[in-house]
Structure 1
């Protein structure tokens, strides 16, 4: 078990079909403070992570994997989270990757 930040986002669970605010685990970047984030927040960088020229121009788009357990059905699924210029901009269910909890 490691540390992770969490992102609160409105998602529809692909396992039960119900919509709700879900808590997404993010293990990318600096997770030492275990932050609770929402869309629109800046995401913490690693202290020694270099800043690319694309970041400086505001053109950087990074897609990171998130993990989520639905609080309604207790089933899990994966989420693709977009970071644009290091800001959390979207979270979408990843239907191409199966969760760990069996149906």
Structure 2
């Protein structure tokens, strides 16, 4: 399971600005849909991954996987959570996608 972050991003593969979904595995992975500024839900009790449990101060950094709706190529983003709020993201140009 994963969650979705709705983003407007310039695709590093086709250089178009697109509305896209970033799949990410942070917090309660329940196929919830978020946008920047939303409060992330955390798993309570036993979790299958440490990324599901609330870290100290509710601060976390993780990765998201995006498939561009324009060129249909993929790329990665880094997602930042501050005090339980999804505060920002940026394209990770250091990590290659799966689609050539």
TM-score by length of 1: 0.84
Q: Which position in structure 1 is the counterpart of 2:99?
A: 101
Higher Cα radius of gyration? 1
How far apart are the structure 1 equivalents of 2:81 and 2:54?
Answer: 16
User: Which residues of 2 match residues 1-103 of structure 1 at below 5 A?
Assistant: 3-32=1-30, 34-48=31-45, 49=53, 52=56, 55=57, 61-102=59-100
CA RMSD between the two structures: 1.3
Residues matched between the structures, number: 93
Q: Cα 1:50–1:10, aligned 2, differ >3 Å: closer, same or farther?
A: closer
Unaligned runs of 5+ in 2: 46-52
Change in 2 beyond 3 A, CA 1:47/1:9: same
Following TM superposition, the consecutive aligned residue runs of length 4 or more in structure 1 with deviations greater than 4 angstroms are none
Structure 1 residue ranges without an equivalent (≥5): none
TM-score w.r.t. the length of structure 2 is 0.86
